[in-house]
Amino acid sequence: MLIAYEFLFDELAKHLETHLIEAEAHWLRLNFTHIYKKSFQNNKPQVLQKWCNDIIVKYPDKIFESEDFVSLQENALVSIISRGDLQMEEIRIWNYIIKWGIAQNPGLPSDPEDWTPKNFLTLKTTLRNCLPHIRYFQISGDEVIDNLRPYKNILEKNLWEDISIKFMSPNRQISSKILPPRVILTPKLPSRNTEPISTVIDESHAAEIASWIDKKDIMYSVMNNPYEFKLLLRGTRDGFTKDSFWNLCAKQTQLVVVMKVKGTDEILGGYNPIGWTKSVYCYKNCNDSFIFSLKNGTIQNSILSRVKEPEYAIHCDSYCGPRFGSGCDLAMLNNFNQNDKCYSHQNSYEKRIRNDSTFGRSKFSVEEYEIFQIEKT
């Protein structure tokens, strides 16, 4: 896409841009920080830039807490902090901007008390496009003293005087421009028109899984579910491949797998907080993993089965898909796009999650499966 823009093939580039957003959103999310930085190397992919920023304003820590934050391009940083709906306290935005600006000038002394007028001018010049987007008058008094005062010399003189006036006498008139406060979003009830998080599970299933993850006795409701379920991979019966699983999910953590069993109302799945490592054959120790069957249709009750043999909790095998337990407690084996290549055989986990079995081992086919990465919001 970027190369197409570079060669002025704008029609092709815009087609690729749309394709990425509409058909490869899970891949974009999986590589979010890298994609975000690359998208701002050119000013033209504005649709992709907005798609990224729409996510960042809701979940700012994706960028601000990332290891690559200080290497973010200036135009990308300005595009975020200029948004009036950025869901972050103003003082945190200020501190991150200062952190970014100092990182662009590694020769600056670590303590601003030791700075010369030239040092302040250097930082002011670096941040000249960022500073106008701070909502200074939404920063509380104590934070002004602790955070703004050490860097007052990078502000315009009349602005610092007005901030001081506002701090001492909130009702006094000032001459500086006051930007409107950022819009803080409030949770809304789910809408029937809202795009569902999944084609296998619904919001109540997600809340139930979240409750099991946090080991809650009282289940989360749809409204107070603290986790975002980010889709990494989706496969239909004709599109199952172990390669797509390993390409997108290897070494990822906090994973939830769900699968719809063919010919029944069953929804089976598992939670793997430590992830799978591509290996010929090994086990990973985990105390917090579990597998489950969800209530759905004729399935009246959910079944939660926590690990009882942590040393065999997670089974890694590069010839297969996701596997839980030493006895295929829940497993998608090699060629798992074919009939009866998924298994459930209670061994390393507390409970059996399927009753249809021969000699304790249950074979089944899957119509669709999804893998999510969860993140606290």
Task: Please spell the DSSP secondary structure of 69-132, one letter per residue.
Answer: GGG--HHHHHHHHT-TT--S-HHHHHHHHHHHHHHT-TTS-SSGGG--HHHHHHHHHHTTTTGG
Q: What is the mean pLDDT of the chain?
A: 87
Structural tokens at position 336: 């798992």
Last residue of a domain, one of 148, 168, 188: 168
Range of the domain at 140: 2-168
**% of the chain exceeding 90 in pLDDT:** 51
CA dist., res. 177 & res. 83, Å (int)? 17
Last residue of a domain, one of 168, 186, 216: 168
Residue 268 has pLDDT above 70, yes or no: yes
Pair 247, 106 in one domain: no
Pair 216, 334 in one domain: yes
Pair 223, 103 in one domain: no
Residue 179 lies in a domain: no
Is the pTM for the entire model greater than 0.75? no
Pair 278, 142 in one domain: no
Neighbours of 25 (CB within 10 A): 13
Q: What are the two backbone dihedrals, phi and then psi, of residue 330, each rounded to the nearest 5 degrees? A: -155, 120
Pair 85, 218 in one domain: no
Q: Report CA Rg, the chain.
A: 26
Lowest-confidence pick of 82-86, 142-146, 168-172 = 168-172
Note the Cα 341 to chain centre separation in Å.
Answer: 31
Pair 58, 131 in one domain: yes
Residue 178 lies in a domain: no
Pair 9, 138 in one domain: yes
Pair 87, 146 in one domain: yes
Residue with tokens 């010049």: 125
Q: Which tens digit of pLDDT belongs to each residue from 184-210?
A: 765 544 444 445 678 899 888 999 999
Tell me what pLDDT residue 195 has: 55
Q: Is 325 helix (H, G, I), strand (E, B) or coil?
A: coil
User: In the chain, count of helices (H) and strands (E)?
Assistant: 13, 12
